[in-house]
Amino acid sequence: MELTERGIRPPARGGLSHQALDELKRSIALAVVRGCTPREIRAQMLANLHRWKNQGTWGPAYDEWQNIAQSEDDGELFSVMLGRDENAVRLRQSMPFVGLLPQEEVRKLHEEAGG
């Protein structure tokens, strides 16, 4: 069963619950933090954001991520990548640090989340 703001419900079929999906994204972020320096993370974020903006794929969260990537505050970077607060959960829905992990590692994290 899954506890939501609307009550207790069976888990959603055909995919992960919101909580499980965020835990997956948090696991991916943790693997990125463990394997990359803050400088590498910021460089990948800025490259992805630049590409997405040029492709016309831009959302409000990307402005926030861009400010974080351009900042030198490692604490803020790690806080939004790994935090459990509402803001971190919201920003991880649009995480721009994709591409830093090998596909095999990402696939394994997806399998673990789904199993």
Closest CA to 22 of 111, 86, 104: 86
**pTM of the predicted model as reported, rounded to 2 decimal places:** 0.81
- Which of 16-20, 66-70, 80-84 has the lowest average pLDDT? 16-20
* Least confident range of 3-17, 31-45, 63-77: 3-17
pLDDT higher than threshold 60 for residue 46: yes
Which residues are 2's β-sheet partners?
Answer: 9
Q: Over 70: is that where the pLDDT of 4 sits? A: no
**Residues 91-100: pLDDT tens digits?**
999 999 999 9
Q: Are 108 and 43 in contact (CB under 8 A)?
A: no
Stretch 36-60: mean pLDDT: 96
Consecutive H or E run containing 28: helix 18-35
